[in-house]
Amino acid sequence: MGKGTTSFGLKNSKTHCLCKRCGLRTYHIQKKRCASCGYPSARLRSYNWAEKSFRRRGIGCGRMRYMKKVIKANTRRQVEALANGPHKKVKTRWNRKKLENARKQRDGAKKTSEKK
């Protein structure tokens, strides 16, 4: 048997299966280790020479089942805030009276200091 077509027919066993953590078909069955994320180690596998792999794993890659809800809730809150306008202190009668009294006291203090 040669090295070519006939020998490739024998290569039908799987070395990798799906990884529990990253979901890719990179978990080595015999080594019991994921080639992509490094499962079962606690730390996520990453190397500085593989810049593209960081981009593939970041937020926004995949379904984002939880983050989708968070983003929608935040945008909804922002839209409501813009519709309601900026939060202002409600001017009640009591607040107006308090402001008027403060102004009178201030004006009275200025007049007494001017007379001296």
Whether this prediction's pTM lies above 0.75 is answered by no
| pLDDT score recorded for residue 27 | 97
| pLDDT score recorded for residue 100 | 82
| pLDDT score recorded for residue 81 | 76
| pLDDT score recorded for residue 16 | 97
User: Could you tell me if 29 and 17 are in contact, meaning their C-beta atoms sit under 8 angstroms apart?
Assistant: yes
In the predicted model, residues of the chain with pLDDT beneath 50 are: none
| pLDDT score recorded for residue 93 | 63
Share of the chain above pLDDT 90, in %: 42
Burial class (CB in 10 A: 0-12, 13-18, 19+), 111: exposed
| pLDDT score recorded for residue 1 | 80
